[in-house]
Amino acid sequence: MARTTVKVKYSSFDGLQNKISALLSSKGYKNINENNEDVWKNGMGFLTAMKYIKIEFAENNTLVISGWCRAMAGGEMDLNGVVGALPKKQVMNVIKELQAIVK
């Protein structure tokens, strides 16, 4: 799996899931189950790559945010490189916003 992963420490779990859900929903992401994973997905892949974000709560008050893009007929792409640069940048910007609300 080619994914970009960011780990962020949080101080309080109270209301954090609601903040994350509200932000992702406002950006057009929908919470779905795909390949037995609970992920947030944006787009259908016809005009642009499908964008994904996965949120995981780990030990020691750590939030693990994974982001990737996928073309309609392709596999996962991490958020580095120039292929699919615009959707990759969009996912990275959402990850930065998530980091800001968590801290």
Per-residue pLDDT tens digits for 39-88 = 999 998 777 789 999 999 999 999 999 999 998 777 899 999 888 889 99
Q: What is the 3-state secondary structure (H, E, C) of the chain?
A: CCCEEEEEECCCCCCHHHHHHHHHHHCCCEEEEECCEEEEEECCCCCCCEEEEEEEEECCCEEEEEEEEECCCCCEECCCCCCCHHHHHHHHHHHHHHHHHHC
Say what the pLDDT of residue 1 is: 67
Say what the pLDDT of residue 83 is: 82
Say what the pLDDT of residue 73 is: 75
Q: Tell me, what amino acid is at 78?
A: D
